[in-house]
Structure 1
């Protein structure tokens, strides 16, 4: 206990106890004993000074005492359960001010020890995601405690059908700080064709080695070859065959009439034009299927040969002709060392491209930069040396309107050196944009 009193003072005060400990969100009380040593009736006012004054209270706030008498007031300390509540020993004092004789002020002193508390909140974003080869998630972690927290992320599934990659593996969060841990989920076995498979998994954020509550997530594995692609090929081929049969069976015979010949000639040209159009559609769909199959084989191998597609080329394919169907389009770029090159995809008229994720590949291990722009606005800027195979999902799809351009530009600094292959003279990067093509 502390007892302070000057020889000239007529008031005395002491704290009981002079020091205490309190947890944030809790409360502790201290008794202040006050005595009037003067010869007149005196009123006393009380004021807490120091850092604890922000979360302290005095009751009653004023006290009147006859000469030679004493009484008590109660001090209550209630530090908030918040990240900015300081930890450790905090000194404070109580100013006991006599109203009639303010020069006889008394100031007893004490200390409050604020104890640490830990509170980490985590959230999986999004809870469910889809992809053919992988899916990206983020785990948002916020430290609500008043002490730094070391957090690590773990993921697992009971069927052991998935593999996981976490970046960064751990993070240190200051009080009140929020961080994001990236989680990439990959299937152990790929699906060439068939139905979508849903895999449930869980993640858990551990704080300073203490595990937290598990978070539920789901990965929807899509087949490498879209389910409607064979039907689209068959329908396109059947249409082309029917038009060809119509040409040879109905319109080719000679008509002697001049007017009839003219009509036949015009019809012949129209049918031939339609046949060529259908043949192009079949070739386009077949090319998309071959591209998808080649991509699956290349990703399954350890070392992928550089693409034979010319620098700056781009192509697209839809999983279905239905409105709002899943859509993907590849972009591939080759650039010489010290130069840059780009590839562009333009959204068709009357359509809107909703991009939900982007798969990037740097099979050679090139160094330089890769930039993705939408109508001249930069969306991503990545260093090539930081990845070989990357999936970048967006929780909210990127909207590219009709006529909008998605451009991937590669600034090649140094081509990589793939194992067991001659050193290339160009950087070779590719991107696969996935999403939906909807009607504008």
Structure 2
């Protein structure tokens, strides 16, 4: 017994991060109903959104069946541009030695991307500071990148310069670039001020990326030295007042006019207010960084593809799949294939709701209501109702009619290829759906 299969790949170039659908046709050139195990071979079999097992495909004698295989090319710099060869192994269930391996080529295109990370998130100094930034080419082709750096605030008293502003990096290559921050308007006294500095990476055919760090401008005269200086000046003024004060009974008269301006208490209160404002800004920034880390660790959306295979001959009249914890399943399409006698039926359910109940010889694709979305631990179920063949003499035969020889057990097979998307129930990637329960299809009466 030979197996005939053909793999059709769409023309054109696909950029990593995109998806395409290839088509597989399988012919049954034997005289019996057969099913074929499908297995993906090559790099796509190891990609997170694919997987090697494609399930089974039943085909009637003298007919052929077509199946769509979605493939998502990951956005990974390790995938080089150019032709990428893969294949599908098609093996007969009835005759395991009958195997066909059609091949196909996918043209992978170039994509450009980069990442930048400062060596230190905070630097400080009264007059200058230095830092390093690490630039990495995360695309799959050689790229020329340009670096630009500037303070985030236009009125910041900083001048920032880069040692190198243009880099040529191969795929996966990294480079370290030093930069210098100089203070153009130093502070002699007061409270330290934080100035954000933004480093930006620009390249052709890609969106710019940026990262930031903080330069903390400190005063030239620290608080401790300022307090000592104020105490010394106060003591000197007190000594001078005592030295020049008159001795005798006459009323002393002021020889000089007191200086106008805020008192020492008001100056200290102003400094305390500035310190409280700076502390509040730092706490708010820490809270924002905490929320960003929590968002990075949240569950993400995942493409979904699963084949439910029910086979009475293999002792599996029921096939099930449970939605993983923390997710709900948004079903996009359902493809049904089946084989068996005219009296056999298949039933497809999702979260207890019946999506299809149809004879195995009248299978059709199923349209799933958008409001039906099974949640964690809820199941997708494919069930076969394959009646046994009648035994004994016909009712019309007389008592003397010879007994009818027993017939072989009935074999039924069914496959449901379900394609959709796993969406987190909670977190920043969750999506709301309108609660609505579709009416289940009534179970048809079995044919006599």
Superposition TM-score, scaled by structure 2 size: 0.43
- The structure where strand makes up a greater share of residues is 1
**Bigger relative contact order, structure 1 or 2 (CA pairs below 8 A, ≥6 apart):** 2
